[in-house]
Amino acid sequence: MADEEERALEAAGKDENGDSIFGKIARGEVPVDAVFEDDKVIAFNDIYPQAPVHIIVIPKRRDGLTRLSKAEEKHKEILGHLMWAVAEIVRKNNLGDFRLVVNNGPEACQSIYYLHLHILAKRQMKWPPG
């Protein structure tokens, strides 16, 4: 089994109800070089980039959003704001075409159970992904 798959399976068992690195970043306990930040979201470069540009976008409040499939009606505003933030980041950084990824659960290799979006840009993407 690949390292990525092992990390995802291990994370699924412990991060669902616990704290994560993204929670610490959102609370300002772990510093990052933010590429975008407002009162609702923060975005920063991925430490394991899969493209020349690989930015992670997270809400500042987890509010039960460990993965997209956990979204409820109360999350509609933050989900829309996350999408708007992605568009702002792409515009302000002149990224052009990009891929937006949300991993949901261990089979999708989600390794941190705090909803997050991956912006991948500045290389030709393949289809199908994965």
Helices in 27-110 by DSSP H: which ranges? 76-92
Helices in the chain by DSSP H: which ranges? 3-14, 21-26, 76-92
Domain assignment present for residue 128? The answer is no
Range of the structural domain that residue 62 is part of: 3-121
Domain assignment present for residue 52? The answer is yes
Domain assignment present for residue 130? The answer is no
Residues 111-125 have pLDDT tens digits of: 999 999 999 999 999
Domain assignment present for residue 129? The answer is no
Residues 74-109 have pLDDT tens digits of: 999 999 999 999 999 999 999 999 999 999 999 999
Q: Is 116 a catalytic residue?
A: yes
Confidence at residue 15, expressed as pLDDT on a 0 to 100 scale: 56
Given 54, 75, 81, 116, the catalytic residue: 116
CATH number at residue 18: 3.30.428.10
